Structure formats: C-alpha cells, structure tokens
Amino acid sequence: MKKHNLLFLFALTFLLVPTNTPVMAAKYSASEAKKVRTFQKSYHRLSQKNYDRISLFAVQPNFGIPFSAGVLDPDYIKTSIAYVNYYRSLVGLPDDANYANDNVNAQLGAAALASVNAEQNLRAHGLQSYAKPGYISDTDWDTAENTTLGNINFSESTSGTTAGEIVTDLIREDNNIAGSGNIGHRGMILSTRATRMGIGAAYGTENNVLYSVEHGLFADDILRQPVKSRIVYPAAGVFPYELVGGKTPWSYSTTERISGQPKIYITDLTTKKKRQATQVRNFGTALYGDGYTTTITYRPGKTKLINTHKYHVQIGKHYSYSFRFFRQNSTLKNKQIVKHRK
C-alpha cells in the first residue's frame, strides 16, 4: 500500500533495522507490566477489518446530480476513533468524542477531494485552486474547504485498507508531504485541547486514491486551555515498539518557549550506551495549535531501538524522561517480569 499524508501549515497549526547480533534482554517491573498489559488489551480489541470501495460505505457517494457525499460504514468510523483514542491513551490524554454532524462535514471534505481527484500535495488542504464541480453546492464546498484544513491522508491500494492503517500512518508521520520532521498530524491527534473529531473517506472518481479526512479543527477547542503542559513521543513510562523506526520522527511539545535547537541525548539504560539525537528541528508554534508554545522534533540517530529496553531522553536543560518499549501486538508473559525477592 502506498500512502501519503500532510497537514496544512497555515491552520493554527532508521528503519528499525533488525539486528542479527545478540541483544541484552530486559525485564519489566511490576508497574510497567501492569501498564503494558492494559495497553495490549486495548490494542487487541481494535478491529483489523479491511475495507474496500464497496464495504467502506453504508451509502455510496454519488458524484453527479443529485450529489451525495456518501455515508461511511458506522463500524469504520467507530474503529477510526478507537485508534485515535488508543493513541491518546498512550500519552495520558482523555478520549476524543465523535458526533454525527462532524462526520457529515468530514465526509463532505473527503468527497470533495475525491470529486476533483486532488493531487497528493499541500494544495489539497482547503482545496486550494481547485474548481468546484457544478453538482456540488456552494454551501457544501465551503464546508469541504474548512474540513480539509485538518488531517488528510492519501492511500493507494487495490485491495482496500483498515481504519487503523490510516490513523497509524498519521500518528507515525512517516509520509508527511509537508516536510521531514513535521508532526502536524500527530499534533492534531494528540492535541491537549481537542475534545472531538469527525471522520470522512472517499475514493477518487478517476484514480484509486482513498482520501481520508480527520476533521479536528474547531474554534471552541482551539480556545480551550490545554489539559497537559507537554507531550513527548515516545511517551514516558512504556511505549509500543511498533510506533517508532523507519522515518518516524520523535517529538517534544511544550508550553515553554524554547529558542534554537537544544542538544538531545538518548541513553539505552539497558546497555548503558548514550547517543546524540540527529535532525533536531524547532517548529515553534508553526504546527497545529494544540496548546503549545514550542514543538521540537528529532531522530534517534545511531541509537539502536530494541524491544524491552529502557531509554532515557534528555532534551537540553528543558526536560528529561524515561520509557521502555513493548510490543502492542503481543501478550506479556510472566517470565518477562522481574520477580521480587521475599
């Protein structure tokens, strides 16, 4: 499956290389194991159902007169939001709600992108320079211009996709057309001010592109006080091994104003090896307005990322924290947990 996604910057806006050499195994503390099992259970409950051009919809779109944006399968929407909220839980954020009207508006955005077979670039946001088809009303087009300012994902596949693949692609930021290190999509999903999100999706009329929209830009949320003063990715505590690697940037978002690019060091506490992070970028407030004054992204550089290992991250003089990797698509065994001596 070929995917691309992007976030409109003007809204308030590695490969995990398997190693053949032996690695040091590490065990989880009792508290870590409890958190891991909670997350694994949540992940295992998420649907892996594949959706194609037919099964994606309860009501197929009609690109003509009378125009219809279509209606997504309710389970697809439910699963999309479930993935969003699973990822929010990893960083300690409350769930986003999902309302019917927000889905209707997001679906108008996705259908509008599909109607013009939007190219996979920044112009898709806000439908910039695209001419409105005659069968779409001015009101619906205005709504679509607004909802496409949020998260957009482009997915190409002849066999369909799962709801989880779309959301995961956005949270990992492996394919952000807006540029290397940009985490605008992640910022919207992990917004500390967001309370709700609408979901839309539609296939292009003349291509095999699935246009997905996460409608999450709401004036009342943007004016809301953030519920946390910082978000780190990978999150503190325990974090899924499957959500790092490849081209995935790591990130630190904070209400603190930070100028320049701080030196960032990552220490594998299991092997005692310390490495300096690379490709450090300070986006300031340029990304989605999720309540932060500064967003910094970086790569782990030469740090070997190994499941079960514990890492310490030092972000200049501003913040430090630790986390341990676990596999979300697995089940933690008792032998992987440290036994306390009597």
What confidence score (pLDDT) does residue 19 get? 41
What confidence score (pLDDT) does residue 284 get? 83
Please tell me which residue, 12 or 305, carries the higher pLDDT value.
305
Q: Which helix (H) or strand (E) holds 88?
A: helix 74-90
Question: pTM, whole model, 2 decimals?
Answer: 0.91
Where do the structural domains in the chain lie, given as residue ranges? Answer: 2-12+23-222, 230-336
Q: What is the mean pLDDT of residues 296-310?
A: 96
CATH number for the domain formed by residue range(s) 230-336 = 2.60.40.1220
Q: Is the pLDDT of residue 17 over 50?
A: no
Residue-wise pLDDT for 247-275, tens only, equals 899 999 999 999 999 999 999 999 999 99
Q: What is the mean pLDDT of residues 23-49?
A: 93
In this structure, whether the domain defined by 2-12+23-222 belongs to CATH 3.40.33.10 is answered with yes
The Cα–Cα gap between 338 and 34 comes to 12
pLDDT averaged over the chain?
90
Q: 3-class DSSP state for residue 83?
A: helix
Please tell me which residue, 97 or 178, carries the higher pLDDT value.
97
Residue-wise pLDDT for 43-97, tens only, equals 999 999 999 999 999 999 999 999 999 999 999 999 999 999 999 999 999 999 9
What confidence score (pLDDT) does residue 157 get? 82
Q: What is the mean pLDDT of residues 188-201?
A: 95
What confidence score (pLDDT) does residue 18 get? 42
The Cα–Cα gap between 99 and 34 comes to 32
- Strands, E assignment, 205-328: 209-215, 230-233, 237-240, 250-254, 264-268, 273-276, 278-282, 294-299, 310-315, 319-326
What confidence score (pLDDT) does residue 293 get? 87
Q: Is the pLDDT of residue 2 over 80?
A: no
Q: What is the mean pLDDT of residues 228-248?
A: 95
- 231-236: long-range pairs with CB below 8 Å, 24+: 231/91, 231/93, 231/190, 231/192, 231/292, 232/91, 232/313, 232/319, 232/321, 233/91, 233/183, 233/186, 233/190, 234/311, 234/323, 234/325, 235/90, 235/91, 235/92, 235/323, 236/321, 236/322, 236/323
Q: What is the CA radius of gyration of the chain?
A: 21
